[in-house]
Structure 1
Amino acid sequence: MNEYADLLIVGAGPAGMAAALAAAPSGARIVMLDDNPLAGGQIWRDGPQASVPVQARQLRERLQSHRNIRHHPGTRVIANPGPKQLLVEDDEHGWLISYDKLILCTGARELLLPFPGWTLPGVTGAGGLQALIKAGLSVQDQRVVIAGSGPLLLASAATAKKHGANMQCIAEQASLKAVAGFATQLPRWPNKLLQSFTLFDRHYRTGTHVLAALGSDRLEAVRLHQQGKIVELACDRLACGFGLIPNVQLGQALGYALEGQALAVDAWQASRVDHYAAGECTGFGGSELALVEGAIAGHAAVGDFEAARQLWPRRARWQGFAKALNRAFALDPRLKSLARPDTLVCRCEDVPHGALAGHTNWRSAKLASRCGMGACQGRVCGGAVQHLFGWQPSAPRPPFCPARIETLMSLDDTPPAP
């Protein structure tokens, strides 16, 4: 099966949904891909224990009401066989999609920094714990510590408490001064101020970061540096997240430019001719910024530049929130020294920190140690080594993720003419 789209959108989170809805009135043939079973992205992830917000449900209903929007759930991008072509695969088959315009809304993932014991069973990412709970994981009566940086810690804690967890500590590495300074700015975004009240937890501690996870066969306790003191807390689960890093791998493979760790875009959310990007792959700023960026990209991609321009002030408002957030929760340089020489950095290939310290770039480290060459293809360790050593991971080569032989064979098919 081959397919053609006037507008292809990769990612069905807030940015992707907003882009599709903005472009739909043009009558363009819109195809939206996502590897989740339902639209909503990570922030509005579904599951047996998930409570999907009203806004997400409304956006899904609006998408379904447009006949010119086709949504392929559970679908992954495997390769880019030619200009304006993507090879994709779902659980049943693979096929080629040709497109005229493309919007990448590939989101972001957690930054996981290595520290002693971080590979013990019972240790996850902060967002990872939230996703596991939504998928059905029981945390009833379990002692939970959440550590790292940013508002995701509070959101993850709220989800865990809602499902019966006993919160021991929420360890925020940012200082009290930085967090308080950020809090004083929240009245500029009233809904964020209200949200902060609903998420507040008495176990929240600033100036606190993880030192080690303790245990033999699984997690038993966590050692924290808490406001100048070393403390140990017994716990059953430790969830760590040190912020988010944009998913730029597909953009890199397609020739998008980078600005820092994110995809570079202009005022129209364009990165190159006929290629746009929106949401957290262009920088972390929350769902509100992702929604308006997606709408701008959707309008611009179908030529409605006036509608896109009218959204610029709203985008600027939420960009202000993103800048305040990222400034307040900037990572303490001390977090780069958590790992010991024997601490694993690449879990897939069992590569310790000591095996990487003598190298000067990502390529050299990969050739010598196989770091980043395992099952996750550097999605975890890539962000870690970029933070620890400043190495920029190279653009991925296809296949971008494991694929069936039958899918790769479909590269011989002739794509349909527009």
Structure 2
Amino acid sequence: MSAFIDPYSVGGKTPEIAEHAAVLVIGAGDTGMAAAIDAARSGTRTVLIDEHPLDPSLFGLDVPFHFGQRANGSVQNQGRALDQIARSRSRLDEAFEAGVDVRLGVTAWAGFVNGPTAHGLPKPVIALADLNRSWLMSFDKLIVAAGRRDLGFAFPGWELPGVMGAAALHALIHRYHAFAGRRILVLGGGRLGFGTALDARREGFDVAAIVEAAPAFSAPKDMIEAAETAGIALHAASTIARAEGSAAGIGRAHVVALDDALAPIAGSERTIDCDTICLALGAVPNIELLDQLGCKLTYRANQGGHVPLLTPDGKTSLQGVFAIGDCAGIASDEDGPQRLQTWTRAALAVGGLDVAVCQCEEVTRRDLLEVRPPRYLDRDSAGLRARNLQTLLADGPVNQDQIKRLTRAGMGTCQGRRCREQVTALLALAGGIAPEAVPLPSYRAPLRPLPLSVLRDGHEHPGMRSGWDVWFGIDGQFDPYWTIER
């Protein structure tokens, strides 16, 4: 008896794999560069990719960092940007000499491996893209050194140009030499906040103040003393009430002192002139690619939150896939998620509920807690008015994917990078649970926004083109309903 082969199945119709690398390293920071050099020196063909210099359009979309429209026009010059990035990589010459195939300005936007729902790949592959095209590269070993990203924090006025993240500020100052601000207010009184402020001060920028919601700064004593010596104002037990400015950007910030219950103290408001507000509350490991590949994750508050589950030598749960550097966990003596909880409680007391947490989709704290649908839908039906976060909690554990689908929080062009952890913090506070009890929302390809122009040459297998208008041979599946006889 011969086996029946469904002509509409995807089996045997795999896309073209353009290249293969024995070792593929994603991320050309210090750890990724070191790993690539070591691999190449062992005689292994090694490819090292890094997404910098970025497609200029990504600066406006706040991907991969929260740039807050504080990059100057020089980032539009790809030649200059490439030169600046090359200069910022101290071991780049060493990598070339070791035989590493270095590719800058190349993004890893997805990864595909065989698993419960896919069986046809001859090898695991990473989907890559540059400014002009997209292609697949298979590998024997994958080393992910994707680094960290900024932790977002909402307050009235945070949508104005000039509100940005610490990692973005560091990149604009040191990688691109393209920071457009002059006077900075830093939010976050830990090691990251003080380190960011002192670094900006050394580079010649004016740092107006460092603000911390907790009663005391958690940065090391020597960093606090250095900030005081540099003339930076320090405000502990305080938070930002709002930022003001114009379409051109931030002009000033209003800061209030907090009591022991994290409530604003009447009459304590002060105004600080600044053109940039830097969010330095914490950093988050870039685990999107690892998660999308299917690597097992765990939650470690003192390493930035969700991190890949690793063996001592950096192996993930997937064969041949490793994680190193900050994407494997950010070494810290601080509990970043708990710090965000403190700031969120203060923000609720000072700024209230009608502040947009998800800028892309204009979803406010109230929208999240009341589980309100997007504004373009009917919000006033009896069924929707009867539903809120508490009714969802009564049905089972709170789930961020469920909230995302109901409110669209996290579904915008930044792909949740500015709001994901804030949504977790709000759900945890409202539900009376720890942040780690809120499941991580899912990621889907592409993990970076891609223009359609880079995908236009990716043709399907010829077998996929025949019968494209039916699914598993179901005739009429895509016929308009008004043409179907009833």
Identify the match of residue 383 of structure 1 among 403, 421, 432: 421
Deviation at 1:49, TM superposition (A): 11
Determine which of 270, 275, 278 is the counterpart of 1:239.
278
Tell me the equivalent position of 2:57.
none
Q: Please tell me whether residue 410 in structure 1 is matched to residue 458 in structure 2.
A: yes
Structure-1 residue corresponding to 2:364: 352
Q: Does the aligned pair in 2 maintain the 1:146–1:238 contact within 8 Å?
A: yes
Matched residue type, 2:93: E
Query: Is the contact made by 1:246 and 1:262 (CA closer than 8 Å) also made in structure 2?
Result: yes
1:137 aligns with 2:173: no
Aligned equivalents of 1:163, 1:196: Cα separation in 2 = 18
Partners of 2:257 and 2:81 in 1: CA distance = 32
In the alignment, the residues of structure 1 paired with residue 35 and residue 82 of structure 2 have an alpha-carbon distance, to the nearest angstrom, of: 25
Question: What is the letter of the counterpart of residue 402 of structure 1?
Answer: P
> In the TM superposition, what whole-angstrom CA distance separates every residue of 1:184-208 from its partner, at most 9, and x where no partner exists?
8xxxxxxxx8x99599643252624
Conserved 8 A contact 1:149-1:331 = no
* Cα deviation, residue 280, structure 1: 0.8
| Structure 1 residues 10-21: aligned runs within 5 Å | 10-21=26-37
- Residues 58/332 of structure 1: CA separation in 2 closer, same or farther (3 Å cut): closer
CA RMSD, 1 decimal: 3.6
Q: Is the 8 A contact 2:356 2:362 kept in 1?
A: yes
3-state SS, counterpart of residue 222 of structure 1: strand
Task: Indicate yes or no: 2:370 matched with 1:336.
Answer: no
Q: Is the 8 A contact 2:148 2:283 kept in 1?
A: yes
**Identity %, equivalent residues:** 27
Worse overlay, 245-254 or 396-405: 396-405
CA contact (8 A) 1:6 1:99 kept: yes
Question: Contact conserved, 1:248 with 1:281, CA < 8 A, in 2?
Answer: yes
Tell me, in whole angstroms, the C-alpha distance in 1 between the residues paired with 2:357 and 2:258.
Answer: 27
Determine if the alignment matches structure 1 residue 263 to structure 2 residue 304. Answer: no
- Of residues 361-370 and 344-353 in structure 1, the stretch that sits farther from structure 2 once superposed is 361-370
Is 1:65 equivalent to 2:111 in the alignment?
no
More off after superposition, 56-65 vs 221-230: 221-230
Q: Residues 94-124 of structure 1: CA distance to partner in whole angstroms, max 9, x if unpaired? A: 1110001111111111101112221122322
CA shift for structure 1 position 54: 13
Q: 1:26 aligns with which of 14, 31, 42?
A: 42
Query: Does the Cα contact within 8 Å between 2:109 and 2:129 map onto a contact in 1?
Result: yes
How far does residue 266 in structure 1 lie from its aligned partner after superposition? Answer: 1.2
CA 1:28–1:274: 2 relative to 1, 3 Å:
same
Take 2:188 and 2:418, find their aligned partners in 1: how far apart are those partners? 16
Partner residue in 1 for 2:106: 75
Structure 1 residues 73-82 or 104-113, which shifts more? Answer: 73-82
Structure 2 stretches of 5 or more lacking a match? 1-16, 55-63, 66-73, 115-123, 260-267, 300-305, 370-387, 390-397, 428-434, 463-486
Preserved CA contact (<8 Å) 2:254 2:272? yes
Is 1:4 equivalent to 2:52 in the alignment? no
Q: Kindly indicate whether residue 419 of structure 2 is the aligned counterpart of residue 373 of structure 1.
A: no
Structure 1 residues 50 and 10: alpha-carbon distance in aligned structure 2, compared to 1, 3 A threshold: closer
Decide which moves more: 382-391 or 273-282: 382-391
TM-score, normalization by structure 1 = 0.74
C-alpha deviation, 1:36, in angstroms: 0.6
- 1:278 is displaced (CA, Å) by 0.7
CA distance in 1, matches of 2:402, 2:337: 31
Letter in 2 for 1:6: A
Change (3 A) 1:196 1:268: farther
Distance in 2, matches of 1:373 and 1:54, equals 33
The alignment covers a number of residue pairs equal to: 358
- Cα deviation, 1:51-96, whole Å, max 9, x if unaligned, reads 99999654222111112x1122111123334441112111122111
SS at match of 1:224: strand
1:320-360 per-position Cα deviation (integer Å, ceiling 9, x unaligned): xx3x3x25995164311314221011111111111111443
Q: TM-score, normalised by structure 2?
A: 0.65
- In 2, distance between residues paired with 1:128 and 1:248? 18
Task: Name the one with the larger helix percent.
Answer: 1
Q: Which amino acid aligns with 2:95?
A: L
Cα deviation, residue 406, structure 1:
5.2
Return the match for 1:394 from 394, 416, 441: 441
Residues 192-231 of structure 1: pairs in structure 2 closer than 5 A:
201-203=230-232, 205=234, 207-215=236-244, 217=246, 218-226=249-257, 229-231=268-270
Contact residue 21 and residue 139 of structure 2 kept, 8 A: yes
Q: Which digits, 9 at most, give the CA deviation of each residue in 1:389-416, with x for residues without a partner?
A: 23433331222223335537537479xx
Unaligned 5+ residue runs, structure 1? 185-192, 286-321
The structure having more radius of gyration, on CA atoms, is 2
Deviations 1:9-29 (CA, angstroms, capped at 9, x unpaired) = 111111211211222222111
Q: Check the 8 A contact 1:146/1:153 in 2, yes or no.
A: yes
